[in-house]
């Protein structure tokens, strides 16, 4: 009985990577390293789930824990993200949460695109303003800092199923959590990176 239950719990974990089909790019050329991510990170402001985003992204940087540029990005260490943004909402944000989503690049007979890597809710709804000097987020232009701490278990999972030194896409979604029932996304930032595990 125990072995049947254990097999039932383990099998879905092995099947998950096979079920994540790529979101096909609009690019005509299906390249394995889009936007020259083999040599440097590429960032952009991504589409929001909300009706509109209240922040505008000007520049962004992703560094190691000491603030040094390190490429490829080492996912086994804490990452620091610096965002040069303008808050256009006309109000301060004291309560922000951050969702971190991981995608891997896939190119082949299924097409070219980014396939989501299930994180089982581990990197979701992290309190962005806890012990963060860049909170509250003021009105106007400023630098926002965020930390991404990936657990050793999650990096082992990514390495086992997806691999090392391949293109990954990280998406950070910042949400206003003042009203826990009606959370509104205020900013979405995406990085296309080469990552080591």
Q: What is the pLDDT along the chain (197 residues), one digit of tens a residue?
A: 444 434 433 444 444 444 444 444 444 568 888 999 999 999 999 986 666 678 999 999 999 998 899 899 999 999 999 999 999 999 999 999 999 999 998 877 777 889 899 988 888 888 988 888 889 999 999 999 999 998 888 888 888 888 888 899 999 999 999 888 888 899 999 999 999 88
> How is domain 2-32+40-196 classified at the CATH fold level?
Immunoglobulin-like (2.60.40)
Domain assignments of the chain as residue spans, ordered by start: 2-32+40-196
- Determine if the peptide bond prior to 118 is cis (ω within 30°): no
Query: What's residue 29's pLDDT?
Result: 62
Cα–Cα distance, 132 to 144 (Å, whole number): 9
Query: pLDDT value at position 12?
Result: 46
Residue ranges with strand state E in 46-179 = 55-64, 73-74, 79-87, 96-108, 111-117, 126-127, 140-148, 166-176
């Amino acid at each position: 009985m125990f072995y049947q239950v254990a097999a039932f719990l383990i099998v879905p974990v092995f099947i998950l990577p096979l079920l994540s089909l790529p979101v096909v790019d609009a690019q005509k050329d299906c390249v394995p390293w889009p936007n020259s991510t083999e040599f440097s990170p590429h960032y952009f402001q991504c589409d929001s789930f909300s009706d509109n985003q209240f922040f505008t992204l000007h520049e962004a940087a992703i560094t190691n824990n000491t603030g040094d540029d390190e490429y490829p990005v080492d996912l086994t260490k804490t990452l620091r993200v610096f965002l040069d943004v303008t808050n256009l909402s006309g109000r301060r944000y004291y309560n922000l949460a951050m969702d971190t989503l991981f995608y891997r690049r896939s190119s082949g007979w299924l097409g070219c695109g980014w396939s989501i890597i299930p994180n089982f809710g581990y990197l979701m709804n992290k309190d962005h303003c806890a012990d963060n000097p860049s909170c509250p987020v003021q009105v106007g232009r400023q630098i926002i800092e965020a930390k991404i701490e990936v657990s050793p278990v999650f990096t082992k999972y990514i390495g086992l199923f997806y691999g090392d030194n391949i293109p990954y896409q990280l998406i950070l979604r910042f949400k206003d959590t003042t009203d826990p029932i009606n959370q509104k996304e205020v900013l979405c930032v995406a990085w296309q990176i080469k990552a080591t595990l």
